[in-house]
Amino acid sequence: MKTRVKDFFPCVRGFGDYHEIEECASILSDFISPVRSREIAFNGRYWGVFWLKTEGKPDKKTIQNLLDKAGVKLNRGELR
């Protein structure tokens, strides 16, 4: 079975500094098709969502599902 890059996107990841979100997207874009990112939450860590430019930005429901799958618990108002 062949693994495709788009099988891993969209995805969420936590960082200690919000600048790292854009840096991560930039590094990923050097190796694979253009990756876009956006800060989506802060709960002591900065959470970013990453998606392939060709696939389009995920909607809020998809982002919430990704956060739930990653085990991220947010209080009301922490999701941006």
Let me know if residue 39 belongs to a domain: yes
CB atoms within 10 A of CB 43: 14
Beta strands 11-15 and 35-42 are unpaired
pTM of the model: 0.86
Q: Looking at the chain, how many residues does it have?
A: 80
- Parent domain of 65: 9-69
Q: What is the mean pLDDT of the chain?
A: 88
In a domain, 4, yes or no: no
26-52 tens-digit pLDDT: 999 998 889 999 999 988 899 999 999
Q: Does any domain span residue 52?
A: yes
Name the token pair of 35: 């990756």
On whether residue 75 sits in a domain, the answer given is no
Classify the phi-psi angles of 71: left when phi > 0, otherwise alpha if psi is within -120 to 50, otherwise beta. Answer: left
Which residues are CB-contacts of 3 (< 8 A; sequence separation ≥ 6)?
Answer: none
| Counted domains in the chain | 1
Task: Say if 77 falls within a structural domain.
Answer: no
